[in-house]
Amino acid sequence: LTRPAYLYDVTWRHEQARLQALEDLFDPASRYFIERLGIAQGWQCLEVGFGAGSMAVWFSDRVGPSGRVLATDLDPRLLPSTGRPNLRIVQHDLMSDALAPEDTAAFDLVHTRAVLAHIPDHAAALRRLLQAVRPGGWLVVEDMDATGPVMAAAAERYTSPLAAQGVYRACMRALHEVLTQGGRDPGCGAALPTAMRELGLQNVGAELHAPIVAGGAERDCMRLTIEYLHDRLLATGLIDRRELEQFLQLTRESTFSYVPLFMVTAWGRTSD
């Protein structure tokens, strides 16, 4: 498989805010599920594709001075050095860079969120993540199930006011077209529970969740995503300029509410 270039540009002036908005939406659930697995002081955690880095910083707090966190990303510049002795930030491509020998089969917990959707070969990505988990450790993979016709129709039910549903639908169609180009899969979350079982993991569990968001937030992940992809969305021919502007305007209004995306959290443990 040839891999498409990563879709977003870390140097875009709003990319940090866009990723922080994603963190605002999903960190509470990610932390909740990871707490339930028993994360404790002294754990060694790997965060892959850390983005703006809030989960990596949380891991650093949570595992304390006796633990360690390795945080990797294709482009790590949105989390400059934090001065935390237990947090190491490394530029690393999950799909082409080898893990250091001391990081192989080493981690109590390997976590990644919203990264697989950008990598067409999910099975290979999961195998690479698994290589880092120590015997008896946990792999937690979170990814979206968004924009495909079935999930977009489900999300549309939560779009209010009703008059906004048409423009929401057009936006999801165009977004789906852009997000699937190059073999990317914005529906990959749905396959995670089975994929985790097929990896031979035990105690596999998964949950689907979706925040219902009000418009008017200072940083809104969907609004910033649409602003960034604006021209590519128009180029699909599935939405016109007026509809895009209408959708962007809705996301600025506190009377608008909608589901930006469904997220699947899946976890499983390697055998001792």
Q: How is residue 141 written in tokens?
A: 């993979």
| Distance (Å, whole) CA 6 – CA 8 | 6
- 243: Cα within 13 Å, side-chain hemisphere: 20
Q: In the complex, what is the shortest distance from the CB of residue 111 to ligand SAM, in angstroms, rounded to a whole number?
A: 9
Q: In the complex, what is the shortest distance from the CB of residue 53 to ligand SAM, in angstroms, rounded to a whole number?
A: 8
Q: In the complex, what is the shortest distance from the CB of residue 37 to ligand SAM, in angstroms, rounded to a whole number?
A: 18
Q: Select the residue whose beta carbon is closest to ligand SAM and give its number.
A: 51
Q: In the complex, what is the shortest distance from the CB of residue 257 to ligand SAM, in angstroms, rounded to a whole number?
A: 22
Q: In the complex, what is the shortest distance from the CB of residue 14 to ligand SAM, in angstroms, rounded to a whole number?
A: 14
Of residues 22 and 201, the one with the C-beta less far from ligand SAM:
22
Single-letter amino acid code for the residue at 33: F
Of residues 68 and 118, the one with the C-beta less far from ligand SAM:
118
| Distance (Å, whole) CA 111 – CA 100 | 17
Residues that bind ligand SAM (CB under 6 A): 6, 19, 22-23, 48-51, 72-75, 93-95, 113-115, 118-119
Helix segments in 42-164, DSSP class H? 54-63, 122-131, 149-156
Of residues 256 and 262, the one with the C-beta less far from ligand SAM:
262
Residue 154, burial from CB neighbour count under 10 angstroms (0-12, 13-18, 19+): middle
Q: In the complex, what is the shortest distance from the CB of residue 76 to ligand SAM, in angstroms, rounded to a whole number?
A: 8
| Distance (Å, whole) CA 242 – CA 46 | 43
DSSP output for 15-42:
HHHHHHHHHHHHHHHHHHHHHHTT--TT
Of residues 6 and 158, the one with the C-beta less far from ligand SAM:
6
Q: How many residues does the chain have?
A: 272
Strand-pairing partners, residue 208, are 264
Of residues 52 and 233, the one with the C-beta less far from ligand SAM:
52
Of residues 115 and 199, the one with the C-beta less far from ligand SAM:
115
